[in-house]
Structures are given as structure tokens and as C-alpha cells.
Structure 1
């Protein structure tokens, strides 16, 4: 189960947990994750759907009708289709992105995977990605997937977050530490 410190709300976490248990029982965790990700992407990419999901102005009946039409067109698995209809009828569509994120985390844990957030000053090469993945995998005992971002402000090095741990080897942090040490001396 996702930790309470995760960005997933309690409502989203409960729905994600329920869906995960159903998907696990029917052996469809990977396909359910993929379908949820498609709906999360639809929220991000389609302003009209995002408005339907996020706006409290729509009634549960209107949300259910819209989701039912989308489900009929997209034809996801019965589990995901029915789940989306339940979420809409309970007026919880606003939590759909969080549900997808919570489900993704539970599915990754189920597969023995962990995600590491990596911030670097420059894009990593394939060789660097492989070495980092191997090092983090041996540290955590899990298969690691990397979520990378580039921030030139760190100047060099890496900032790596895996679970609740963070390792900051950035040049910016080292310079800030040196700056503080020099202030204490002077």
C-alpha cells in the first residue's frame, strides 16, 4: 500500500487499492495499469475531459453519462470500464489521476520494482542510465525504473530520490555547503 506521505490522496489511495486487489485477483494488473494510464493521459491532453473530471459543476449523472460514452467508444476491459463508471457515479472523477498514480505504485511494488527520480545537470547517456540503474538496484534489491529530469541549475552531479531517501551529489549542494562553512569561519 502506498505510504501516507505519497502525493496520492486518501480517497484516491482507497480506490486504487480496491482496483489493484480486483486486478491482482483476475491476473490483469499490467493491462489495468496500462488502461488507467491511458485515461490519465486523456485527462492531461483533453481540456474538455479535464474540465468534466475536475469541475464540481457537473452532476454525477452527467459525469456518469460522459464516462459511459467514453467507455463505450474506447472499450477498456470490463474491470476498468465498470470501475470508471463507479468512480463517476460516486463523484470521485477528480481523483482519477491520483488513482492511476496510486495503482501504478502498487503494481510496481507487486512486480518488485521501484522508481527513482533522477535530476541531472545534463541528459544521461544510456551507459550512465544502466550504471545508475544497476547501482540503485543492488542498493534497494529491486528492479529500478528511472524518472529523469534535467535541471542545469544543479551545475553537475545528480540528485536521486528513491522512496523516502534522497542522495544529493550535485555541485550546487556542495558549493552551498562550502559557502556555509566559510561563513562560519569568517
Structure 2
């Protein structure tokens, strides 16, 4: 995956800078999401990887499938990707674009996994505390995993906070084995 990120990064950065200069981050985000979702479909991915089609035909097919959901600028971006044989990177480009957009907006999506359902008050307090720590606007999504035994596992981008009982037991086992 690191190789895909490396290949996709300049395209994501170029799209981000272009959209930011035109104050169109939200529109580009939506349109890139559409392109990424369409290109991720198995039958479309097969067409985009088929060397018997020219890059113009591949770009045209993807743009036709996206239809009116994408504007002229994004359609041109798809043509540039096709010309450089990078249409297969659209999902990764979209993910990197969203990271750049979140950093620009000082926003972070946080996933909280707990052993039991968290009530709204606890989620709000957790969101507030994480917002202070990360100095960002925090969007919290919660899920449950009964294998954690207790505590929570928090993921915010590259940051992982493992406050679960399972995580603590694993650390204890490693300490005892070394």
C-alpha cells in the first residue's frame, strides 16, 4: 500500500491545491468520491486495467459512468490520470485528498471501539477531550467489539490509543516474555 500512496500523493496534492485555490474543496471531495466509488467497482476496475483500451477510451468510459455527478474540471483530471495510466489510483487519491482537506479544515475523524455501547454523554465528553488534545474539530464514530473485554481503542488517523483490557494484557504478556 505504501507504493500506491507514493504514486497517488502528487495527484491528490495537485487536485487539493487546484480545488483550494478555487474554494471548491467540498465539490471536489464529492466528485472524487463518486469517481473513486465507480472505479472501485469490479467490472469498472477490469475495464480500467484492460490494456486493449486506449487511455482516452478508459477516461471516457469512467467519465460517462460518473455522468453529471462530476464537473468538467474533474473529468479533465480523470483524463490526466488516464493519460498517465493512474486511473487505478483513484481510491487512494480520494483518501489522500480527504486527509489534506481534513488537515486544512482542522478536522479529524476518530473511531472509538469499545467493549460495550457508549452513551451520548460519554461520547460527547470523549469528543471534547480529544478535540482539546488534538487541537482539531473531532467527528466521533463508535462501534463495539466484545473481544476487548473492557476499555476503549481510539483511532484518529495515524494515532492509536489502546486503552483496552486486551491491549494491556498483551503488553503485560510481552513484558513477562522478554
TM-score range, shorter chain: 0.7 to 0.9
Counterpart residue number, 1:159: 153
Counterpart residue number, 2:107: 113
The alpha-carbon deviation at position 31 of structure 1 amounts to: 1.1
1:91 aligns with 2:96: no
1:64 aligns with 2:59: yes
Unaligned runs of 5+ in 2: none
The alpha-carbon deviation at position 179 of structure 1 amounts to: 4.4
Counterpart residue number, 1:17: 13
Distance 2:148 2:139 in 1: 22
Distance 1:57 1:125 in 2: 55
Q: State the SS of the aligned residue for 1:169.
A: strand
Contact in 1 for aligned 2:56/2:79 (Cα 8 Å): no
Give the TM-score, by structure 2 length.
0.84
Q: State the SS of the aligned residue for 2:110.
A: strand
Contact in 1 for aligned 2:151/2:164 (Cα 8 Å): yes
Tell me the number of residue pairs that the alignment of Structure 1 and Structure 2 aligns.
178
Aligned-residue CA RMSD in angstroms? 2.7
Distance 1:152 1:107 in 2: 34
Worse-superposed segment, 148-157 or 138-147: 148-157
Shift of the 57–17 alpha-carbon distance from structure 1 to 2, 3 Å rule, reads same
The alpha-carbon deviation at position 20 of structure 1 amounts to: 0.5
Give the TM-score, by structure 1 length.
0.80
Q: State the SS of the aligned residue for 2:150.
A: coil
State how 1:133-148 maps to structure 2 within 5 Å: 133-148=127-142
Contact in 1 for aligned 2:38/2:62 (Cα 8 Å): no
Residues 82-111 of structure 1: CA distance to partner in whole angstroms, max 9, x if unpaired? 111211222101110000001000111111
The alpha-carbon deviation at position 123 of structure 1 amounts to: 4.2
The alpha-carbon deviation at position 147 of structure 1 amounts to: 4.7
Q: State the SS of the aligned residue for 2:88.
A: helix
Residues 37-68 of structure 1: CA distance to partner in whole angstroms, max 9, x if unpaired? 12222234x32223234555644233123123
Distance 1:132 1:51 in 2: 43
